[in-house]
Every structure is written in structure tokens, then in C-alpha cells.
Amino acid sequence: MARITFKNVRHAYPSPKGQAPVYALKEINQIWEDGGAYALLGPSGCGKTTLLNIISGLLTPSEGEILFDGEEVTQLPTSERQIAQVFQFPVVYDTMTVFDNLAFPLRNRGAEESLVNQRVEQIADMLDLTDSLKQRASGLTADGKQKISLGRGLVRSDVNAILFDEPLTVIDPHLKWQLRSKLKELHQQVGMTMIYVTHDQVEALTFADQVVVMYDGTVVQVGTPVELFNQPHHTFVGYFIGSPGMNVLPCTIENGQPIFGNNPLKTSYPVTKALTGTTEVGIRPEFVHFSQSGIPVSIEKVEDLGRYKVVTLNHEAEVIKMVMKEGEDLPSSSPMISFDPDYTRVYCDEWLVKEEGVNE
Amino acid sequence: MNKTQNNKAWWLVVPVLILVAFNAFIPLMTVVNYAFQETFGDNVFFWEGTTWFEQVLRSGRFHDALIRQFLFTGMILAIEVPLGVGVALTMPRKGPWVSVCLVLMALPLLIPWNVVGAMWNIFALPDIGLLGYTLNSIGIDYNFTRQPFAAWMTTVVMDVWHWTSLIVLLCYAGLSSIPDDYYQAAHIDGASRWAIFRYIQLPKMKRVLTIAILLRFMDSFMIYTEPFVLTGGGPGNTTTFLSIDLVKIALGQFDLGPAAAMSLIYFLMVLLTCWAFYTIMMRNEEQ
């Protein structure tokens, strides 16, 4: 178990000769606490898996250092890092029994057979694999195999962290939910640092205490699910988390107040910084409401999703989505909307304009 | 509801039946015909029952050829299989060298059997061949036309040269189907190089390796052209394998009855061995 520190980590995959390197990871500086459940969330190709492989040592970063509990491990090979990793597709050793599969990482490290028995039984019990211990691993279903992959990660008590690389991709939806809660439960039982890579926001938000949102090779925000929802630091976070994502609308700033179209908007704190760059205002569909006065809009489309309705609105060619609770009615004529000032955010060049003098 | 009865489609099978009849069934039945009868020409046949079979099975000459055959097949399998697996493991998995290696490996397979025999014959000639001359000039007395041991070694090395590539290519195909995840997982589990081979690579290669061994067994068990061109079965009878002996009996001595009986025994042996081998391998698979 360990605290994981990234110091100026950058990585570029080899590029054709004569061309400037393209960084898959641009400058990561992070400290991940011991025993935390972290989720790396981001779209495909944002560098999540690269970062994961750097932690496990399958990749050596082009620049920077990675430390476990303050000790540098950047050049250490995978087998010496005491890391467990579960991959997207289940990896089982077909010719072995389930027991031997689970015992493999221990036996490779020369553990005594009595210890092996004890650990394997304990892990099998946690994962409900006790009944199939004597079975050949190749005969199991996909989720059974993924449980074995998981078990091989958990079986060693000395691992620094367990990494999951989209482990539930090949699992049936109803089993996904079960395995996910199993993972959460295991995290509470064993208290190991767990890092979970996914592009599915539901998976990330249910699994993790801290969600690390990545976009285009950088970490754009680290926070609890609530923070990510209420206070997105980057328009990408607003857009990527939540369904539908945050509305991002062009605006101008006058006297510390954002102006959308011709409509001045209220925010919880004034914009005091002088901004150079594209300014935008972000508001989640949950905080857009119909009101007596405000921004005149036309209603384009209403989608009824059962528990709530998603209404697509239009104001001078700008599309605004809003969420309406079931039972509320659409206004009959000339609808107008207002934004909840507490959740109206101003962004400059895609980054949140923070309140002056307030640190995170 | 009435089903339309139309059996005209059966006529479409006729070409296949004719083809199979001419290239398999009729030739085989001709051999069966000769195996149970005696003929003195003019299409006159006399029933002989199992006489020819008994004669062949009791003949010392057949036993010797059979032992030589098993020895040869055993030797080349013992060399080619580990060597082929070894070479496949060391071949690059990515990059520009992959195609270079693949072409180099495929090259011996493209050469016709008799050309391989002729090549090695000239290559190994003690007076003018590169191999033969070199061996003799560094003090090794080597003459494959006179020494049984030299003839054997040359035949075995020739077969290894010609056919190891087949095993390499098949194993390489098996190896390239293993996803990177497996290797990465093995590294994380702290597996040794041997453990990776034993628990990941070998199981994944098992199917193709089964086919490779089967092919090499059948081919080497029926080997004819290469040793015929290289040594002609000599010196003496030391490299006379089953097929060479068969041709000698059938065409050299024109003993059609014993030759036909021997053909059938030979055929059944190959068939039986392949069936047994395949069944055992597949039963392991199911467990």
C-alpha cells in the first residue's frame, strides 16, 4: 500500500523520425493518497491507459518521476513494483485450475504452500469462487474469468496499488453492477489503493472517492463526484459528466457580469480578473428553469425519459438543454428561462474563472 | 401444406462424385484388387486371400524398412519441433524485420522436393560439394555415398532444413494471436520466462502445434523424393524407407501383389497413427 506521487510526468510514444514528439501525457503532477479509491475518467485516447501503464511500469515515462511512498520507482521493472493490474479483457491461465490461477502470483514469488492455501481460500471466499476452485479456469464465463483476474490482483497482501483498466467492458450489464459493488466492498475490506480507469461516468462516480478527469493528455480536475458536478473546473468536465452535459454558451463580460446575448446573468461571485480569451458561461441543465422574466427562448424538442424530461431550447441559434421534473408543465406561450446564479459559472478559454482570493 | 418434391438437385453432386471416384476411390480399389489376387497379365486374376499380407508382415525386409522409417520420423520430429518452436519464439513480433524473417522462413518450403534432393546431393558431394569438401578438408572423413552414418545424417539435416520452417510459421501464427494483455499480466504476476512459455505461449500454440506435428509426421512417414534423389536408398539399404522399398518392390521387381498389400498396410498405419494422435490431443483439450 502506498501513496503515489507523480512529478512532472510526461510521455510521448515514439514518433516518425524528424517529427516533433506528440505527448500522449502532458505534464502530470499529482499526489494520490494511500488507500484511496481513484477513478481515471476520460474519453478514449485521453491518456488514461498510458498513465496506468506508467504506474504499473509497463511503460517508462519520457520525462518526470513517479514515487511510491516517497521512493522513486520510475525505472523499476513491473515485477518489482508490487502492483496488481486487471485488464480490459480477462487474462486467465487456461491450463490451470482456478486455484492455481489465484496462487500463481504468490508461487512465482516463492511463497510457502500453507500461506498460498490460506490466501487463496480467503480471496476465493471474497469473490464467491470457492465452489469452482478445483475447476479448469478455461471453462468459466467471462465474468468468472474477470473475477480470477481480480483475485490474482488481490491475493498478494503486499501490493502497493491495484489498477483496473476498464475491467467491466466485457461483462454483461446486470453482472457489471454486481461486480462493481463487489469492488467497492473489497476496497472497504482491504483498504488498498485502487485506481480504476473508465470512460463510463456512472462507473467512475459509483466506484471512486476521488474522480480524476482527464482530457487530451492532462488532468483537468480531481474531485469528489459532487464537486465535479457542481463546480466543473473545465468545460470538458461539465460536458463529460452529467447527462445531458453542461450547457456552454458564449458570453461577454461587462462590469464583472457575464452577458449572454443581450441578457445579463447573475453569478455567485463577480468576475474581477481581467480576462483575455474566449469567455463562456456554463450552466447545467438541472439549474435552468422557466420563469416569468429572463431569456426568451423557443422550444425545439421535448424528450420524456420517464423520471424527467429533457427540453431542448433555442435562443438566437444557441441550443440550451434543460431538465424538467415529471409533472411540471411547459409554459403555454412566449417561454422565458433563468439560470440559478449559484450554479452559473464563467469560463475563459475553457477553464473556470475562480473566485479571487479563494483557494480550493 | 404440400412440400414440393424435387430431387433434381442431386444431379449437382455428380461432378464431385466423379472427381472423388477418379482421384481416390478407383485407384484405391485397384490396389485392393491387386492385394488379394495374383495376376499373370492379360487381366487374368486368381484369388489369393491374405497370402500377400502374411508374406509382407513376416518379411524381414519390411520390418527393417519399418524400423528405419520410425527411426527417421522420430528423429526429425525430435529435432524439428523444439527447433521450430524455439525459432518462432525468437522471431520479432513487430517492425520491419517481421516480413524479412517470414520470407526467409518460407523460402525452403517453396522449393520442389526433387530440387531439394538434388541441391543437397551436390552440396554434400565429398569432392566438389561445399559441405562435403569443407568437412573433409577440416579432417572429418565424410562420404554420404559410402558411409551409412553420413547418409543418415545428411538425410535428416536435409529434412530439417526443408521442413522446420513449416513448424516455425505455424507456431509463429499461434504466438501472434496472443494479446499483449497476457504478457503484461504475466509480468505483473512476476512470472519467469519459463512460466510465460509454459502457461501462456505453449497452451496458445497447442492447436497449431498439433497440426504441425501431424503434418510433419505424415509427410516424413511418406517421404520419398528427397532421399531417393539424395541417396537412392543407399548405401546398401541403409536409407531405404518404406516408400522407397515399396517402389522397389512394385516397379523394380514388379511384385504387384505384395506391393499392393504393403501399400494398404502402410496406408492403414498412417491413418491409424493420425487418428490416435488427434483423438488424444482433442481429448486433452476437452478436459
Cell triple for B32: 485392393
Which residues pair with residue A308 across a beta bridge?
A325
Is the Cβ–Cβ distance between A280 and A252 less than 8 Å?
A: no
For A81, the closest chain B residue by CA position comes to B188
* Domain boundaries of chain A, sorted by first residue: 4-230, 244-352
Question: pLDDT, tens digit, for every residue of A85-144?
Answer: 888 888 888 888 888 888 888 888 888 888 888 888 888 888 888 888 888 888 888 888
Q: Is residue A58 helix, strand or coil?
A: coil
Instruction: Tell whether omega for the bond before B235 is within 30 degrees of 0, i.e. cis.
Output: yes
b/e sequence A279-306, b meaning 16+ C-beta within 10 Å? bbbbbbbbbbebeeebbebeeeeeeeee
Strands A161-165 and A193-198: parallel
Say yes or no: A77 contacts chain B, CB-CB below 8 A: yes
Q: Which residues of A touch B180 (CB under 8 A)?
A: none
Q: Quote the CA–CA distance of A99 and A120 in Å, as a whole number.
A: 7
> Of B81 and B232, which is predicted with more confidence?
B81
Of A246, A217, A252, the residue nearest A234 (C-alpha): A246
Is the pLDDT reported for residue A293 higher than 70? yes
Contact flag B187-A83 (C-beta cutoff 8 Å): no
Q: Which residues of A touch B209 (CB under 8 A)?
A: none
Is the pLDDT reported for residue B73 higher than 90? yes
Smallest Cβ distance to A89: which of B181, B187, B287? Answer: B181
Of A292, A303, A344, A337, the residue nearest A318 (C-alpha): A337
Over residues A45-70, mean pLDDT:
84
Strands A161-165 and A83-86: parallel
Smallest Cβ distance to A108: which of B179, B195, B200? Answer: B195
Contact flag A109-B195 (C-beta cutoff 8 Å): no
Q: Which residues of A touch B188 (CB under 8 A)?
A: 56, 78-79, 83-85, 105
Is the pLDDT reported for residue B206 higher than 70? yes
Banded pLDDT at B139 (limits 50, 70, 90)? confident
Smallest Cβ distance to B199: which of A58, A83, A93? Answer: A93
Q: Quote the CA–CA distance of B125 and B151 in Å, as a whole number.
A: 11
Banded pLDDT at B166 (limits 50, 70, 90)? very high
Is the pLDDT reported for residue B37 higher than 60? yes
CA A40 to chain centre: 4
Is the pLDDT reported for residue B131 higher than 70? yes
For A163, the closest chain B residue by CA position comes to B188
Question: pLDDT, tens digit, for every residue of A244-291?
Answer: 888 888 888 888 788 888 888 888 887 777 777 888 888 988 888 888
Of A161, A131, A164, the residue nearest A149 (C-alpha): A164
Q: Quote the CA–CA distance of B52 and B30 in Å, as a whole number.
A: 15
For B285, the closest chain A residue by CA position comes to A95
Q: Quote the CA–CA distance of A297 and A331 in Å, as a whole number.
A: 11
3-state secondary structure B193-262: HHHHHHHHHHHHHHHHHHHHHHHHHHHHHCCCHHHHHHCCCCCCCCCCCHHHHHHHHHHHCCCHHHHHHH
Over residues B215-243, mean pLDDT:
86
Testing the interface with A: which of B94, B183, B188 to mutate, by most A Cβ within 10 A?
B188
Count, in order, helices (H) and strands (E) of chain A: 8, 22
Say yes or no: A197 contacts chain B, CB-CB below 8 A: no
Of A85, A89, A198, the residue nearest A152 (C-alpha): A85
Q: Quote the CA–CA distance of A305 and A90 in Å, as a whole number.
A: 35
Contact flag B190-A105 (C-beta cutoff 8 Å): yes
Residue B47, H or E segment: strand B45-47
Q: Does domain A244-352 have CATH number 2.40.50.140?
A: yes
* Domain boundaries of chain B, sorted by first residue: 60-256+263-286
- The arrangement of secondary structure in A4-230, i.e. its CATH architecture, is 3-Layer(aba) Sandwich (3.40)
> Of B84 and A30, which is predicted with more confidence?
B84
pLDDT value, residue B285: 66
Note the helical H segments in chain B: 14-20, 26-36, 51-58, 60-90, 97-106, 113-124, 130-137, 148-176, 180-188, 193-196, 202-221, 225-230, 242-247, 256-286
Banded pLDDT at A171 (limits 50, 70, 90)? confident
Is the Cβ–Cβ distance between B268 and B276 less than 8 Å?
A: no
Over residues B147-163, mean pLDDT:
91
pLDDT value, residue B287: 57
pLDDT value, residue B72: 93
Residue A123, H or E segment: helix A113-126
Average pLDDT of chain B is 87
Is the Cβ–Cβ distance between A102 and A152 less than 8 Å?
A: yes
Is the pLDDT reported for residue A10 higher than 90? no
Is the Cβ–Cβ distance between A88 and A165 less than 8 Å?
A: yes
% of residues, chain B, pLDDT over 70 = 98
Say yes or no: B179 contacts chain A, CB-CB below 8 A: yes
CA distances from A318 to A204, A247, A297, A315, B213 (A): 31, 10, 10, 5, 69
Is the pLDDT reported for residue B254 higher than 60? yes
pLDDT value, residue B20: 92
Average pLDDT of chain A is 83
pLDDT value, residue A360: 46
* Most confident of the following: A339-343, B50-54, B78-82, B212-216: B78-82
Q: CATH says B60-256+263-286 is which class?
A: mainly alpha
CA dihedral A151, A155, A157, A160 (to 10 degrees): -50
Q: Quote the CA–CA distance of A201 and A207 in Å, as a whole number.
A: 10
Is the pLDDT reported for residue B74 higher than 70? yes
Q: Which residues of B touch A79 (CB under 8 A)?
A: 187-188, 190
3-state secondary structure A250-318: ECEEECCEEEECCEECCCCCCCCCCCCCCEEEEECHHHEEEEEEEEECEEEEEEECCCEEEEEEEECCE
Say yes or no: A108 contacts chain B, CB-CB below 8 A: yes
> Of A9 and B20, which is predicted with more confidence?
B20
* Residues sharing a CB contact under 8 Å with residue B221, sequence separation 6 or more, in sequence order: B69, B73, B242, B269, B270, B273
For A84, the closest chain B residue by CA position comes to B188
Q: Is residue A95 helix, strand or coil?
A: coil
Banded pLDDT at B41 (limits 50, 70, 90)? confident
Residue A6, H or E segment: strand A4-12
Instruction: Tell whether omega for the bond before A244 is within 30 degrees of 0, i.e. cis.
Output: yes
Query: Which residue is it, cell 560439394?
Result: B129
What Rg, from alpha-carbon coordinates, does chain B have?
A: 24
Is the Cβ–Cβ distance between A278 and A247 less than 8 Å?
A: no
Is the pLDDT reported for residue B116 higher than 70? yes
SS3 content of chain A, % helix, strand, coil (to 5): 30, 35, 40
Of A249, A236, A338, the residue nearest A293 (C-alpha): A338
Q: Which residues of A touch B195 (CB under 8 A)?
A: 108
How close does chain A come to B267, measured CA to CA in Å? 35
Question: pLDDT, tens digit, for every residue of A309-341?
Answer: 888 888 888 888 988 887 777 877 788 888 888
Over residues B212-234, mean pLDDT:
87
Q: Quote the CA–CA distance of B101 and A231 in Å, as a whole number.
A: 57
Contact flag A108-B191 (C-beta cutoff 8 Å): yes
Q: Is residue B164 helix, strand or coil?
A: helix
Q: Quote the CA–CA distance of A130 and A125 in Å, as a whole number.
A: 6
Smallest Cβ distance to B188: which of A78, A89, A96? Answer: A78
